Amino acid sequence: MKSKNIPAETKSKSIKETREEINDILNKLEKKETDLEGFADDYKRLLQLNNHMDTLFKKKFKDISALTKKIKKK
């Protein structure tokens, strides 16, 4: 799933908010509080959140790398 397929409301979430929603869904699934259709929806949502989290981490990595290069030049 490309980042362009991630809904706007998901793209606006921070790492902490994303992690909390992932944990909520996983807890719900572990407690079996959903039916098969709900499970499929939750799984799809987890994929979206996972891709969003991956995008956030890549951005943070780039930021840290750029900062490290800047410090090394001094």
pLDDT score at 32: 83
pLDDT tens column, 2-35? 556 788 888 889 999 999 999 999 998 888 877 8
pLDDT tens column, 56-71? 999 999 999 999 988 8
Number of folded domains that form the chain: 1
What Cα–Cα distance (Å) separates residue 48 from each residue in 3, 7, 10, 56, 72? 9, 8, 8, 12, 36
Owning domain of residue 35: 3-73
What Cα–Cα distance (Å) separates residue 31 from each residue in 5, 20, 28? 29, 17, 5
The region, left, alpha or beta by phi > 0 then psi within -120 to 50, assigned to residue 32 is left
pLDDT score at 1: 47
Cα–chain-centroid distance for residue 35?
24
